[in-house]
Structures are given as structure tokens and as C-alpha cells.
Amino acid sequence: MSTENPARLTTADIDLSDLRFWARPLEERARAFALLRARPAPEFFTLPKLPFLGQSPGAWALVRHADVTEASRHPEVFSSEPSATSPADMPRWMDKYFNSMIDMDDPRHAKIRRIVSRAFSPKMLAKAEDDIARRAARIVDELIEAGGGDLVSQVAVRLPVEVICDMLGIPARHHRQVVEWTNIIVGYSDPEYVGATVEYGADGTARMGRLATLRMLGTIASAGWRLHRLAARLGRERATTPTDDLTSALVNANVDGERLSPREFATFFLLLVVAGNETTRNAIAHGLRLFTEHPEQRELLLADFDGRIAGAVEEIVRYSSPVIFMRRNLTRDHEMNGHTFRKGDRVTLFYWSANRDEDVFTDPESFDITRSPNPHVGFGGPGPHFCLGANLARREITVMLRELFTRLPDITAGEPDRLMSGFINGYKRLPCTFTPPASAPGQTKDA
């Protein structure tokens, strides 16, 4: 994206494949996507060529709500294979770590989803509900004792990671490592996590040397390998000595004769620990920031927390759109809204833009917790890839906001340190301050 005055942007100034675009202020990003939505047809963006990565001419950007939902409903045309999460094809040797059900179509996707859906039993989800409440109370106790600090590391990360780790039976001693490994996997474009960055020449061409690219890929693969090793160890233990956790349910599941292979279990395990915390942690952090920037919405929420929190959670997810995009791959020629896509084309479903579509949302740039209806795609579009853990995420966000705003009603967020990413709209750090409550925090035991 060029350095032109953002108020006078044209589509020629916008390059969604340029990482520098995603470092721009969010207001500029919003104006850029509004321009793209106003175009009569989707724009094509060329991917930079980097060593060792499968080369592609680029992808068509689907930025309208109607296009994103239509593509999501038709996986037989808009395929998730070979990848749904990476703009470029990653080296094939990395598939064994990251080729999970999110990168699959039916019948492979349907098989795994049947098995894992059965494993998410009402009993297991009910146990998770109790754990969420206990853990949220203890986490806020410790935030109060610390007198404030970084909301991301002290609050937003901890709740979803502890909950999903407990569901899977991952011992507490591994929680910090799980956070580090998932930060690397979703922060693959941020130099802080992978130790390498894309550089741009005077002509705007993206460059990354062979050694830097190898360092980046090696760091990501190492994190994936370590999570696979943890999954394999836990899987072997639960196969011989089952307990009541999700790992036991998954490795011992037999649905109409279908079982997960060790590799299928390991890749789904990795998907759970990554996806099981990213949307929630970022929604919690964005939520505090949004309520700080919009005090009238905080007052509205606190005036009737139980009556308005469900709408507030949906609006936080819509407005922040923690997952910015997913990729799809055309299986055949297809016409949609007057544009003909060709077999082999790639498209990028920009949820962040779809959630601001003026044809669907009145005054989409306003944060309004009473918005109704709110058909956002923050948990993915309709269809087989809608987020399996959406209800768990909603519950975690609800419980944590209740703890924060009822116990620390004046808690506010400072300036965030944003993740350098075009995939995850996340905060790496977010300072928070509050007036300590008059009474000492409760003696909540570790859940």
C-alpha cells in the first residue's frame, strides 16, 4: 500500500499481499476495504515470491459479505485443499504438522468432524463451563494482586489456553510452552516470533533471503513438531489408560467403525490448541479496548449485563474479526456475481471486510452492542467449516468480561502492541489499569 494521503486512497494504492498494508492504522484499512467493496468485481493481488514456498500468481480478494458467505456454502467449488490458512502453498514436508481438518474437504473433513463432534459430549462441555467460571475468577484475583499490567499475557491468553489444555488433559507445566508454540504458528509473519521478516526494495518488491526463509520455516515447523510430540505422548497414554478428558475421547472414539489415525489426531490436537485460544484471547483483548474507546457502550452493558452481554460478544467478534481471512481454491470454472473464476484460481475470504459490508450492516464502523440482527462471519462463513468451538469461545468471552467489569468496573486499556499479521487481528500486548477494589480478592483455588 502506498504512502498516499489515506483520505484520497484509490484501489491502485492498495496491495493486500503487502505485509506493510496490515501495519497501517485500522481506520486506513477500513477505508481501503470500503473502496474494494465498491468495485464492480473482485481485485486480484499478486503474492510476493519467496524462497522454498510454492509459487502462485496470487488470489482474488472476496471482500463482500454476500461473496464470502456464498463461497463458504459451496465447498465443492471453493475447496479448502490444499490449504485454507496460508496465502502461498507451504512446503509439502510441513503438511504432516499442519494439514488438519481445516485444510480438508469431504469426505476426509466429514469423517473427522463426525468423530470430534461426538467427542464434544454434553458432559465434557458442562465440565468446561464449571472450569471457565473458576479459572476466570482466579485469573482476575491474580490481576488484582499484580495491580494491573498486560491484559493479554495476564488474562486474555490464560483463560482459553488453560481451558483447552484442561479439556485435552495437557498438564499445567506445559501451558506456557503451548502459548509460545501457538504464538509462533499464528504469528508466522511477525519477526518477534519467527526471527525473520520480509524486506522491500526501492521498487516495492518483497524479498526474503534463503537463510531467513529457512529460519522462519524451521521455527514454525519446530513449534508444530513439538505440539505433535506432546499429542503423540498424551495419545499413547490415553489409549492404554483412558480418563475423562477430550484426548481420551478422541483417541478411543469409534463412530460407525471410523477412528482417527495417529496423524489425524495429532493435527486436530494442534488445531484445537491453536484455534481454541486465538479467537477468544483476541476477542477479550479487543473487547476491553473497544469498551475503553466507547465508554457509552460500557455504560449500556453494565446497566443490564445479563440482558446485553450476548449481543456485546457478537459485536466484539464482528468488529474485531480476530481471524482476518481464509483461503479457498477453485475446483472448476464458476461464475459468481458476474465474475467468472477459473479452475485453479485462488480466492481469499476476507471476514474482516465482510463484517463491515454496508449492504448488510447499518453504520458498520460503529461499535454497537445492541446491533440486531448481526449476521457476522467472525466465526467463519456458513457451511461445513463454521467454527466447531464457537459456543465455547462465546462462553469464555462472556465469563471473562463479567469478571472484569463487575469486579473492576473502571478497568481501561492503553495503546496495544499489534501483531504484524494479515491473518490474525491480534494484540501481542495491551496495558490495563484499574482502581483496586476495596476488599481483597477472593481466595479462589486453582481449578
Residue in 271, 216, 184, 209 with CA at minimum distance from that of residue 90: 216
Query: What is the CB-side half-sphere exposure of residue 301 using CA atoms within 13 A?
Result: 29
Q: Which domain holds residue 227?
A: 6-433
Quote the number of domains for the chain.
Answer: 1
Does the residue 446 lie in any domain? no
Residue 96 has pLDDT above 90, yes or no: no
Q: What is the pLDDT of residue 99?
A: 83
Q: Which amino acid is at 91?
A: P
- Answer whether 168's CB lies under 8 Å from 246's CB: yes
What does each C-alpha distance from 68 to 53, 74, 160 come to in angstroms?
Answer: 26, 10, 27
Asked which of 5-14, 39-48, 133-142, 209-218 is least confident by mean pLDDT, the reply is 5-14
Query: Among all chains, which residue has been given the C-alpha cell 479462589?
Result: 444
Does the residue 440 lie in any domain? no
> 330 has which bridge partners?
78
Structure-block grid coordinates of residue 136: 476466570
Asked which of 149-163, 182-196, 223-237, 278-292 is least confident by mean pLDDT, the reply is 182-196
Does the residue 445 lie in any domain? no
C-alpha 388: how far from chain center: 13
User: Which carries the bigger pLDDT value, residue 272 or residue 137?
Assistant: 137
- Banded model confidence at residue 443, pLDDT cuts 50, 70, 90: very low
Q: What are phi and psi of 237, to 5 degrees?
A: -65, -45
Does the residue 381 lie in any domain? yes
- Concatenating the DSSP letter of every residue in 416-443 gives -EE---SSB--EEE-EEE-PPPSSPPP-
- Answer whether 355's CB lies under 8 Å from 30's CB: no
Does the residue 444 lie in any domain? no
Q: 79 Cβ partners below 8 Å, 6+ apart?
A: 105, 328, 329, 330, 331
Residue 7 has pLDDT above 80, yes or no: no
The stretch 66-83 carries a mean pLDDT of 96
Is residue 339 within a helix (H) or strand (E), and if so which, with residue range? Answer: strand 339-341
**In percent, how much of the chain has pLDDT > 90?**
66
pLDDT per residue over 355-393, tens digit each? 999 999 999 999 999 999 999 999 999 999 999 889 899
- Answer whether 176's CB lies under 8 Å from 182's CB: no
> What's this model's pTM, rounded to 2 decimal places?
0.92
User: Which carries the bigger pLDDT value, residue 183 or residue 13?
Assistant: 183
For 45, the 3-state DSSP assignment is strand
Is residue 289 within a helix (H) or strand (E), and if so which, with residue range? Answer: helix 262-293
Q: What is the pLDDT of residue 19?
A: 87
- Count of positions (residues) in the chain: 447
Structure-block grid coordinates of residue 349: 475470504
Residue 232 has pLDDT above 90, yes or no: yes
In angstroms, rounded to a whole number, what is the distance separating the alpha carbons of residues 85 and 69?
Answer: 17
- Banded model confidence at residue 446, pLDDT cuts 50, 70, 90: very low
Give the CATH number for residue 127: 1.10.630.10
The stretch 63-83 carries a mean pLDDT of 96
- Answer whether 411's CB lies under 8 Å from 405's CB: yes
Does the residue 438 lie in any domain? no
Q: What is the pLDDT of residue 444?
A: 43
In angstroms, rounded to a whole number, what is the distance separating the alpha carbons of residues 187 and 207?
Answer: 19
In angstroms, rounded to a whole number, what is the distance separating the alpha carbons of residues 74 and 275?
Answer: 23
Does the residue 443 lie in any domain? no
**In percent, how much of the chain has pLDDT > 70?**
92
Q: 8 Cβ partners below 8 Å, 6+ apart?
A: none
Q: 407 Cβ partners below 8 Å, 6+ apart?
A: 140, 144, 437
Cis preceding-peptide flag for 82 (omega within 30 of 0) = yes
pLDDT per residue over 325-337, tens digit each? 999 999 999 999 8
Give, to the nearest 10 degrees, the angle between helix 262-293 and helix 108-119: 70
Does the residue 110 lie in any domain? yes
